[in-house]
Amino acid sequence: MADKGDFFIGWAAKAPSADRRFFLASGVGLLAATGGMAYGLASHQQPVGPGTWDMADVREWRGTIISSPYPMLRTRDENGNVTTALLACMGKCAVKLRIDAMGERTVIVRGSPIRRGQHLMIATQDDGSWIELAGDTQAGDEELVWPTVERLGAVDLSGVILDTKCWFGAMRPGEGKVHKACASLCIRGGLPPGFYVKSLRDQRQLMILTDANGGPVSMDILPFVADPVQVVGEAVRQGTLVFVRMASPTPTRI
């Protein structure tokens, strides 16, 4: 006669003890394997970056403004150090048209800071009153007058193209393949394209891309965003930022 303990009927009896032990051990093992796999995948992901953007932290920034190659403000940070801040609107757009009408003037800009390390971008308010001419001129702070462009020499660099706003801290992560579409939209909207360089000695630096004449880049670079590329041209320093004047409208994919 068959052992009734080995025959399971769901509506009539409990599962045999051997089956219960098997399913319990299998469940615990599956949970442990899933947790280990999740930890392994997460530990190999690139960090999202230390950038920050507090939209509620709206401040007034006083300095000298220029619009070429991109809207920038030569101002002072909280520690009183002279710095170059890129300017952007709250969305995926630049503020160039408003600045073009002012020329190189002393202004007060209202906006929230987007920071990553030494890099600063100011996201201006959308209410239309984000910029105004200062009540007096540059008197008393000659260090805020824009210096002449310093030529640093020819360069041949490898790196990736990204948009500065997201990389500074507007998005996390703000780089890589997962950010390609967003970065392309930002650059198309007029935001300055950054070039993140990693040298053979693991030295990393962010530069700003321009055309060969020091103006905004051509939209021909959009297909190359977030891909490993090689850029040849001339490096120049303007304020506290380093720019690469690309010899060709497009980089070389590597």
Give the chain's domain count.
2
> Which stretches of the chain are DSSP H helices?
17-43, 96-100, 164-165, 180-188
Rg (CA), the chain: 27
pLDDT given for residue 136 in this prediction? 60
- Here the CATH number for the domain that contains residue 138 is 2.40.50
CA 34 – CA 157 distance, rounded (Å):
41
Which of 126, 144, 162 is the last residue before a domain boundary?
Answer: 144
The torsion angles phi and psi of 239, rounded to 5 degrees, stand at 70, -130
Question: In a 3-state reduction of DSSP, which class is residue 119?
Answer: strand
* Contact status, residue 144 vs residue 75, Cβ threshold 8 Å: yes
Residue 56 belongs to domain spanning? 52-144
Given 144, 161, 187, the domain boundary residue is 144
pLDDT at 10: 61
d(CA 123, CA 102): 19
Q: Is residue 108 part of a domain?
A: yes
Mean pLDDT, consecutive 10-residue stretches, the chain (254 aa), reads 56 68 86 82 60 91 91 90 93 80 83 92 86 68 88 94 93 83 93 84 79 94 95 94 95 93
Same domain, 176 and 136: no
Same domain, 66 and 138: yes
171 shares a domain with 82: no
* SS3 (DSSP) at 73: strand
- The reported pLDDT for the residue numbered 140 is 52
Give this prediction's pTM: 0.78
| pLDDT computed for residue 8 by the predictor | 58
